[in-house]
């Protein structure tokens, strides 16, 4: 058995290295650059509009937060954002940022920003396609995601019907497998380890408690998940942001030096120290891109599955929520984590050398402890609990949609029950190999998804231009809202 596991680990390491190597990162960022160009740099040119339509709309537009009727399976735009953020704001925002600083130096944060900037338009494009190609299942619930725009979008192109169908199946398989790894066991294992370290709670106790809480929410379906995340995500994000801000403000005198260290490290304008930063710029680029992608998941095709369940009609409106999702996750939360660590004195800002043996979550906990004392470690343990548990809730919906596509709507309950049981497994097992495997499947989701986004980039451009012409420029143009409606109308004209 040990020999078998060793072989699996070796093979997985090779696959994982290929999946998350530089070519894959270039493909992810390249897709974002292309979509940025095709949409006229939408995230900048229409920044006022998308800001007003998303976070601004919470306070001015009742349609953004107005709940649907009890029997209606749709969720609100705000609920879809919170459920998506529940899955993306996780351990990557804490442990992932720390890992990027340790392995890539402060310069990694700059490249994380670059990935987020272009990732905004990748996420925008996914959500536009998700809404445009979605359809209702037998329960009247919206089902959308990469599997549908691969099958019905890419598959509608001459000679690509079989390719679209096969890629849709592969995406769904990878999604289900990743949901048990990075969306469940790995997150729960992080919670149990931190709760044991900070509060001496046995892992089995943590696992059983989380299984019960998660079961009550997940088996209740999307609307119950959305109701919980709608409350949990803003609460946990605000509390963590305030804590990180407190550390940054306490060390505000270091702000200029921190920013300078990030810029210099990104372009190799200073010597690297003690071998910590590795090969300098190359390591900064690779780790910054990696952490950016893992944190906001733009390009993986994951969050689009919950965004597609929104009660919104306009594809571009949900696309703009995708822009805000990446902004909130990476530009706000990850940046505050990075500044808290870099300003705390635990990193030499001249060389990039980490001046402590702590890594991952423990490095962030030590940074918070410089201000809060022993309570800093407890604060981070609770933050990990909330962040990771919300990720489990969000990913349970992603896995459900992948499972539904493969086996039908009636089979989803089976998936949900198995998913909840695996929470106890995650709390009590050594999951180093499981984490690597889940990274691999998570990355492999991106391949068919990016094929779909690139193949349908022209469609995204047309839908975006159509929206801008109608809603911003005030032109009288027929809306592009649904592929099914457009196909039906074209069919009726031909008849």
Over residues 1-22, the pLDDT tens digits come to 444 334 434 434 444 554 556 6
Domain membership of residue 141 (yes or no) is yes
What pLDDT does 224 receive?
80
How far is it, in rounded angstroms, from Cα 68 to Cα 78? 12
Give the count of alpha carbons within 13 A of 128, CB side only: 27
Alpha helices in 251-280 (DSSP H): 255-266
How far is it, in rounded angstroms, from Cα 225 to Cα 216? 10
What pLDDT does 436 receive?
63
* Tens of pLDDT, residues 63-114: 655 555 555 556 777 777 777 777 677 777 887 888 888 888 888 899 889 9
What pLDDT does 30 receive?
92
Domain membership of residue 50 (yes or no) is no
What pLDDT does 251 receive?
93
Contact, 34 vs 454, CB < 8 A? yes
| Rounded percentage of the chain residues whose pLDDT exceeds 90 | 39
pLDDT at 57 over 90: no
pLDDT range class, residue 53, cuts 50, 70, 90? confident
What pLDDT does 454 receive?
96
What pLDDT does 307 receive?
85
Contact, 339 vs 251, CB < 8 A? no
Domain membership of residue 29 (yes or no) is no
For residue 347, list its beta bridge partners.
354
Contact, 124 vs 319, CB < 8 A? yes
- Residue 143's H or E segment, with its range, is strand 142-143
How far is it, in rounded angstroms, from Cα 92 to Cα 242? 18
What pLDDT does 47 receive?
94
Domain membership of residue 9 (yes or no) is no
- Residue 287's H or E segment, with its range, is helix 281-296
What pLDDT does 337 receive?
93
Domain membership of residue 139 (yes or no) is yes
Give the pTM. 0.87
Average pLDDT rounded to a whole number, residues 224-253? 88
How far is it, in rounded angstroms, from Cα 249 to Cα 130? 40
How far is it, in rounded angstroms, from Cα 152 to Cα 164? 7
Q: What residue has token string 């998936």?
A: 415
Domain membership of residue 133 (yes or no) is yes
Average pLDDT, the chain: 83
What pLDDT does 456 receive?
97
How far is it, in rounded angstroms, from Cα 128 to Cα 320? 9
Between 469 and 77, whose confidence is greater?
469
Least trusted range by pLDDT, from 35-39, 161-165, 292-296: 292-296
Contact, 226 vs 308, CB < 8 A? no
Q: What residue has token string 């920003």?
A: 113
Domain membership of residue 87 (yes or no) is yes
What pLDDT does 10 receive?
45
Average pLDDT rounded to a whole number, residues 133-142? 84
Q: Which two three-digit tokens encode residue 99? A: 């890992």
* Terminal Cα distance for the chain, rounded: 64
How far is it, in rounded angstroms, from Cα 333 to Cα 324? 12
How far is it, in rounded angstroms, from Cα 405 to Cα 388? 26
Could you give the number of structural domains in the chain?
Answer: 1
How far is it, in rounded angstroms, from Cα 182 to Cα 161? 31
pLDDT at 492 over 60: no
pLDDT range class, residue 421, cuts 50, 70, 90? very high
Tell which residue, 127, 115, 124, 146, has the closest CA to residue 29.
115
pLDDT range class, residue 278, cuts 50, 70, 90? very low
pLDDT at 201 over 60: yes
Contact, 109 vs 338, CB < 8 A? yes
Vertex 114 angle, CA 110 and 117, to 5°: 135
Tell which residue, 121, 44, 119, has the closest CA to residue 292.
119
Please name the residues in contact with 395: beta carbons below 8 A apart, sequence gap of 6 or more: 87, 178, 179, 182, 183, 184, 187, 302
CATH of the domain at 182: 1.20.1740.10
Domain of residue 114 covers: 74-490
Q: Which two three-digit tokens encode residue 378? A: 């407890």
Average pLDDT rounded to a whole number, residues 162-172? 96
pLDDT at 472 over 50: yes
Between 364 and 432, whose confidence is greater?
364
Tell which residue, 61, 76, 35, has the closest CA to residue 306.
76
Least trusted range by pLDDT, from 32-41, 163-172, 198-207: 198-207
How far is it, in rounded angstroms, from Cα 441 to Cα 431? 15
What pLDDT does 9 receive?
43
Domain membership of residue 305 (yes or no) is yes
pLDDT at 46 over 50: yes
């Amino acid at each position: 058995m040990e020999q078998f596991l060793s072989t699996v680990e070796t093979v997985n390491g090779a696959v994982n290295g290929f999946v998350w190597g530089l070519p894959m990162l270039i493909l992810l960022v390249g897709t974002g650059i292309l979509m940025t160009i095709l949409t006229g740099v939408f995230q900048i040119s229409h920044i006022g509009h998308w800001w007003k339509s998303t976070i601004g709309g919470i306070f001015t537009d009742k349609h953004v937060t107005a709940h649907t009727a009890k029997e209606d399976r749709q969720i609100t735009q705000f609920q879809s954002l919170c459920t998506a953020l529940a899955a993306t704001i996780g351990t990557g925002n804490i442990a992932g940022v720390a890992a990027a600083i340790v392995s890539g130096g402060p310069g990694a944060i700059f490249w994380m920003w670059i990935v987020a900037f272009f990732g905004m338009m990748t996420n925008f494009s996914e959500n536009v396609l998700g809404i445009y190609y979605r359809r209702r299942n037998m329960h009247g619930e919206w089902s959308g995601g990469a599997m549908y725009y691969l099958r019905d979008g890419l598959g509608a192109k001459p000679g690509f019907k079989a390719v679209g169908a096969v890629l849709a199946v592969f995406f769904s398989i990878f999604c289900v497998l990743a949901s048990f790894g990075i969306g469940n066991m790995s997150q729960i294992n992080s919670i149990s380890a931190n709760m044991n370290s900070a509060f001496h709670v046995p892992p089995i106790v943590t696992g059983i408690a989380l299984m019960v809480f998660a079961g009550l929410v997940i088996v209740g379906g999307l609307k119950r998940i959305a109701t919980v995340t709608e409350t949990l995500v803003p609460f946990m994000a605000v509390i963590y942001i305030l804590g990180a801000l407190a550390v940054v403000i306490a060390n505000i005198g270091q702000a200029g030096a921190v920013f300078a260290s990030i810029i210099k490290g990104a372009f190799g304008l200073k010597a690297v120290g003690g071998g910590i930063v590795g090969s300098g710029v190359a390591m900064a680029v690779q780790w910054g891109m990696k952490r950016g992608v893992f944190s906001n998941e733009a390009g993986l095709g994951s969050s689009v599955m919950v965004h597609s369940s929104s009660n919104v009609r306009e594809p571009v409106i949900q696309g703009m929520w995708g822009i805000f999702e990446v902004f909130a996750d990476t530009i706000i939360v990850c940046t505050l984590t990075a500044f808290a660590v870099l300003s705390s004195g635990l990193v030499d800002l001249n060389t990039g050398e980490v001046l402590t043996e702590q890594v991952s979550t423990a490095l962030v906990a030590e940074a918070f402890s410089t201000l809060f004392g022993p309570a800093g470690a407890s604060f981070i343990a609770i933050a990990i609990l909330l962040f990771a548990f919300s990720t489990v809730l969000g990913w349970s919906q992603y896995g459900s949609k992948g499972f539904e596509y493969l086996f039908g709507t009636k089979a989803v309950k089976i998936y949900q029950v198995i998913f909840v049981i695996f929470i106890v497994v995650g709390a009590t097992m050594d999951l180093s190999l499981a984490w690597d495997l889940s990274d691999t499947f998570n990355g492999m989701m991106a391949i068919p998804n990016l094929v779909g986004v690139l193949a349908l980039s022209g469609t995204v451009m047309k839908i975006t231009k159509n929206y801008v012409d109608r809603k911003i420029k005030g032109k009288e143009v027929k809306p592009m809202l649904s592929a099914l409606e457009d196909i039906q109308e074209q069919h009726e004209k031909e008849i």
